[in-house]
A and B are shown apart, each in its own frame.
Chain A
Amino acid sequence: MTRNHPSTRPEHRKPAGATAMRLVVPLQGVVQGRGGLILGSLIPCALFYFLQFYLKRHRSPGPSSSDPPSPSTSSSNLAELPRTLSRSSLSSTRGSFGPARVSSRANSVAKPTDSLYYIGLDKVKQDPYHRTDNPEGIIQLGLAENNLCLDLFEKWVSENLTDSIMGTNGGDLSISSIAMYQPFDGMLELKVAMAGFMSQVMGQRASFDPSQIILTAGATPAIEILSFCVADHGNAFLVPTPYYPGFDRDVPLRTGVELIPVHCRSSDNFIFSISALDQAFNQARKRGVKVRGILISNPANPVGNILPRETIYDLLDFAREKNIHIISDEIYAGSTYGSEEFISMAEILDSEDFDKSRVHIVYGLSKDLCLPGFRVGVIYSYNESVLAAAKKLTRFASISALTQRLLIPMLSDTKFTQEYIETNRKRIKKMYDSFVAGLKQLGIKCANSSSGLYCWADMSDLIPSYSEKGELELWDQLLNIAKINVTPGSACHCIEPGWFRCCFTTLAQEDIPVVIERIRRVAETSTASG
């Protein structure tokens, strides 16, 4: 469960200003009528002060910045929490040796999450759907996992997993050769095989040099390591919304790098505009925060669309102008099913003359190859210094040599990988088509997407009020009445309420009508009462 958790925002935070105003205005009118202007101002002010005081004590410490508490600019509590807490604890306790306690980082991450993602997942765990054994259970649509092609692996393993590969025959590839210390950034043979695989996944439209590859135990540490390399504590990355909720924990937690959301709209199919990036960059600068890079997912999660060529050009120009980095998480590059072809940063940099040294690509085998358990991630960079630093940091997150030993022949078997990539695409498309058609029957449209293991569904017609609160109410109904777990857009910082990410690659074809039927239950009730 390392790539699918939304931010830990307090779900029930009251908009303090609104509540207070509802008290103050009528009160002012009442008092003015009797006691004059002074009393009319003083008493509401006092009440307002006490209300603020009360709320402050009961709200968890949040950012001291003056961002208005609107639903989607609410950057995760988690992102800002460690910084303010650690600063305050540094200043107040340095030199004083009070009782030993855990660090502020531990404090913030250890407390029980109020993240909707985990609440949903836990609920599914308690009552998981099973076609025959538990047909009334909760159906999981919140986990971006691809279960569609594991049979292909099982076949490969049964045919190819020989003793020689696993090192049990004492030959050249004996246990000693994988038992001992390996280069922390991965075996050379695996880098070579991975470079070839990545190129294959991207239809041979991009080429990858094994010497620019750093292997990590999953894409999660890959992103953290890159963040440590290109930014300092207190710096920031711009991140177009909606974005993968896991970024909120994975990036800021130990690096102290802030994520600044840059809002995108459905009218643009949620593709960012340079002017929005520019505005966010300048706003950050005004409050003294240095932006060091832009973090994008391409293909996008949760929307599932692909960046057009022109947008990538504009992004590269923008990055050069501002002298910042681009981290492009391309982990879904092989999970495309539409007619649009995926364009990797690597493809652009191969062919066009852009400054390469600021671009870093993240990849992994958790999505395209459905092997999240094996922990295989990639950092691909054109910057020698970043590669050198990242290489040293892989000591904290290396891939198990046992797993590398398995993957080298697997990824080098280009016949297998080609068949896999094509079959995978076909199966994802089939599921996508059925699922989206089913939603259409209910009048639910999805965003224009051509990749990923999910669709981005617009259920704004079904939400009781066009607000984050309305969205969460619908989410709750879907979970508890329809008994399906989906990811609400607010968890992804989406600025427009009513969008939900529905993952369909953990389902079987037969499950889709069941899901649609269940959503219908809620949809009909909502439209009837709404």
Chain B
Amino acid sequence: MKLLSTKATCNSHGQDSSYFLGWQEYEKNPYDEKKNPKGIIQMGLAENQLCFDLLESWLNKNPDAAGFKRDGQSIFRELALFQDYHGLPAFKKALVEFMSEIRGNKVTFDPNKIVLTAGATSANETLMFCLAEPGDAFLLPTPYYPGFDRDLKWRTGVEIVPIHCTSSNDFQITETALEKAYKQAQKQNLRVKGVLVTNPSNPLGTTMSRNELNLLVDFITAKNIHLISDEIYSGTVFNSPGFISIMEILKERNCSEDTEVWNRVHIVYSLSKDLGLPGFRVGALYSNDDMVVAAATKMSSFGLVSSQTQYLLSAMLSDKKFTKNYISENQKRLKQRQKKLVSGLEKAGISCLKSNAGLFCWVDMRHLLSSNTFEAEIELWKKIVYDVKLNISPGSSCHCTEPGWFRVCFANMSEETLKLSMQRLKAFVDTTINVHNQSNHQSVKNSRRKSLSKWVFRLSFDDREPCGER
């Protein structure tokens, strides 16, 4: 028998967590307005489909960009041969300017400090390889994007230790929580190399407050560790209080080039969410540490961005008229759509965390749980997927400490579909309240679901799975 590696066979990539199971169920029975109106509506995919028309109209007006032409002349040859891992200079320049524009031009970025990667997934993994040894740990506030369990840990051997956040203060990071997580890592004999936060947050949909950001800078300064700020949703902030980038905070605190902490803050970005182009595989990491940039640049060979894509996007992002309009229009449409989801949920008697960013809402369904447990959460989730036919993401898959929270996406479907999903949900909630007393029927279902849910529950919690790696 040809043995595979332990990495290929172990399960620590969390591929079997409920987050992915929901997707699988959706794939089997996807909703289609005409062909499959009773199918499962996908509300577990954080994709931005609201502004394709803007992209298409730009492409129509600028055929050279997609046609391998510059000023009417073919540059196919040049692009076909361009595989420099330093990236297309025009694209890097346009990208950092775009990033700056999103931040209201309060900060500027140096194109020499940005490294292009095939998606933010690759950028996050590359940063782990550059900053940590196998067996080191990064602290992440919960709830967090389920994909991190795979992206940050799988091939790198790095561990994640959660910073527990609770609904008592709207899931904000506190000093106590940070210290507790740090001590927990020490107890597990893990060396903490840094903190990774997503700002705006996935799955919360909120921007980090100035207070939290300052807390983080204090913490990493005191512990002498890194901070990675995954700002992949920075362009989706549609409401006040507005987005504050970590770079802004450093600037405010005069933590510039001659301070140590300057070199330990790194940003991850991508065009998958803000520009709605996940298929193009365009990600980036930005660092003030020359060595990180040098190492990451070379490692980017394992996931470069196609030169064709770099060229098209450099043309698009250099069009400042387009970017200005796009950014504001995108935010407007996201705001409208989020309002529709929130009001739809309200009608069903469901509230959610007040959010001002992202492509999803963090929905509070604690009152619908049969008990305040994760088993009950999974039970509810299965009902919603199989009976209500909505694929949403349970909080446990995001490592939330409180059962009953769900992430529901709103930007990856038409308005009609969103409306339908809210109708289905309302119908479900109304029925649930009415059949609440039919305990016999419920308990039979529960016992079947319990055996399945225990397995799902354990996997979705994904503590350090022993894989013989270390």
* Interface residues, chain A, with chain B CB atoms under 8 Å away: 1-2, 86, 89-90, 93-95, 97-100, 102-107, 109-110, 145, 147, 150, 153-154, 157-158, 161, 163, 166-170, 174-176, 178-182, 217-218, 220-221, 224, 228-233, 235, 249-250, 253-255, 292, 323-325, 357-358, 366, 370-375, 383, 385-386, 389, 392-393, 395-403, 406
Please, how many angstroms separate the alpha-carbon atoms of A386 and B1 in the complex?
13
- Known contacts: A94-B189, A106-B292, A228-B5. The answer to whether A397 contacts B77 by CB under 8 A is no
When the two chains form the complex, which single residue of B67, B80, B302 contacts A372, counting CB atoms closer than 8 Å? B80
* Interface residues, chain B, with chain A CB atoms under 8 Å away: 1-9, 13, 15, 45, 47, 49, 52, 55-56, 59-60, 63, 66-68, 74, 76-77, 79-85, 118-119, 121-122, 125, 129-136, 150-151, 155-156, 189, 191-194, 223-226, 264, 276-282, 289, 291-292, 294-296, 298-299, 301-309, 312, 469
- Known contacts: A102-B131, A372-B81. The answer to whether A175 contacts B55 by CB under 8 A is yes
| B66:A168 contact, CB within 8 angstroms | yes
**B310 to A: closest C-beta gap in Å:** 9
Contact partners of A154 in chain B: CB under 8 A: 74, 76-77
- Known contacts: A106-B295, A110-B291, A357-B2. The answer to whether A402 contacts B77 by CB under 8 A is no
| B132:A103 contact, CB within 8 angstroms | yes
Q: List 23 A-B contacts (CB under 8 A).
A: A2-B304, A97-B224, A100-B226, A105-B129, A106-B292, A107-B291, A166-B66, A170-B56, A179-B278, A221-B302, A228-B5, A235-B5, A255-B155, A292-B5, A324-B2, A373-B308, A375-B304, A385-B9, A397-B118, A397-B122, A399-B306, A402-B66, A403-B306
- Known contacts: A97-B224, A174-B52, A373-B80. The answer to whether A180 contacts B279 by CB under 8 A is yes
Please, how many angstroms separate the alpha-carbon atoms of A220 and B298 in the complex?
12
- Known contacts: A228-B7, A398-B118. The answer to whether A254 contacts B291 by CB under 8 A is no
Contact partners of B282 in chain A: CB under 8 A: 400
**A220 to B: closest C-beta gap in Å:** 5
Please, how many angstroms separate the alpha-carbon atoms of A385 and B59 in the complex?
41
Please, how many angstroms separate the alpha-carbon atoms of A181 and B42 in the complex?
13
Please, how many angstroms separate the alpha-carbon atoms of A392 and B312 in the complex?
28
- Known contacts: A174-B56, A254-B155. The answer to whether A373 contacts B307 by CB under 8 A is yes
When the two chains form the complex, which single residue of A94, A157, A325 contacts B2, counting CB atoms closer than 8 Å? A325
The 7 closest A-B pairs by CB, nearest first: A401-B279, A373-B307, A389-B8, A106-B295, A110-B294, A110-B295, A400-B306
Contact partners of B312 in chain A: CB under 8 A: 402
| A375:B191 contact, CB within 8 angstroms | no
The closest CB in chain A to the CB of B191 belongs to A94
**A87 to B: closest C-beta gap in Å:** 9
| A373:B303 contact, CB within 8 angstroms | no
Please, how many angstroms separate the alpha-carbon atoms of A168 and B56 in the complex?
6
Q: Which of A95, A102, A176, A406 has the most CB of B within 10 A?
A: A102
Contact partners of B277 in chain A: CB under 8 A: 179
When the two chains form the complex, which single residue of B4, B155, B278 contacts A385, counting CB atoms closer than 8 Å? B4
When the two chains form the complex, which single residue of B52, B68, B469 contacts A161, counting CB atoms closer than 8 Å? B68
When the two chains form the complex, which single residue of B66, B150, B194, B307 contacts A374, counting CB atoms closer than 8 Å? B307
When the two chains form the complex, which single residue of A89, A109, A158, A169 contacts B295, counting CB atoms closer than 8 Å? A109
- Known contacts: A168-B59, A232-B5. The answer to whether A375 contacts B305 by CB under 8 A is yes
| A323:B80 contact, CB within 8 angstroms | no
- Known contacts: A181-B278, A392-B13. The answer to whether A2 contacts B295 by CB under 8 A is no
**B86 to A: closest C-beta gap in Å:** 9
| A150:B80 contact, CB within 8 angstroms | yes
| B4:A221 contact, CB within 8 angstroms | no
The closest CB in chain A to the CB of B132 belongs to A103
| B2:A383 contact, CB within 8 angstroms | yes
**B342 to A: closest C-beta gap in Å:** 25
The closest CB in chain B to the CB of A373 belongs to B307
| A396:B121 contact, CB within 8 angstroms | yes
| B280:A157 contact, CB within 8 angstroms | no
Q: A100-B194, A396-B121 are in contact. List 19 more A-B contacts (CB 8 A).
A: A1-B84, A2-B83, A2-B85, A2-B301, A90-B135, A100-B224, A102-B292, A104-B133, A106-B130, A166-B67, A168-B60, A217-B303, A232-B5, A324-B2, A371-B80, A393-B155, A398-B119, A401-B281, A403-B309
Please, how many angstroms separate the alpha-carbon atoms of A154 and B132 in the complex?
45
**A365 to B: closest C-beta gap in Å:** 10
When the two chains form the complex, which single residue of B81, B191, B292 contacts A93, counting CB atoms closer than 8 Å? B191
**B288 to A: closest C-beta gap in Å:** 13
Contact partners of A406 in chain B: CB under 8 A: 308
Contact partners of B1 in chain A: CB under 8 A: 323
Please, how many angstroms separate the alpha-carbon atoms of A360 and B136 in the complex?
33
| B47:A372 contact, CB within 8 angstroms | no
| B130:A386 contact, CB within 8 angstroms | no
When the two chains form the complex, which single residue of B194, B279, B289 contacts A179, counting CB atoms closer than 8 Å? B279
Contact partners of A217 in chain B: CB under 8 A: 118, 281, 303-304, 306
Please, how many angstroms separate the alpha-carbon atoms of A218 and B66 in the complex?
21
Q: Which of B6, B133, B223 has the most CB of A within 10 A?
A: B133
Contact partners of B309 in chain A: CB under 8 A: 400, 402-403
**B411 to A: closest C-beta gap in Å:** 12
**A142 to B: closest C-beta gap in Å:** 15
Contact partners of A158 in chain B: CB under 8 A: 74
When the two chains form the complex, which single residue of B129, B289, B306 contacts A373, counting CB atoms closer than 8 Å? B306
The closest CB in chain A to the CB of B309 belongs to A400
Contact partners of B130 in chain A: CB under 8 A: 102-103, 105-106
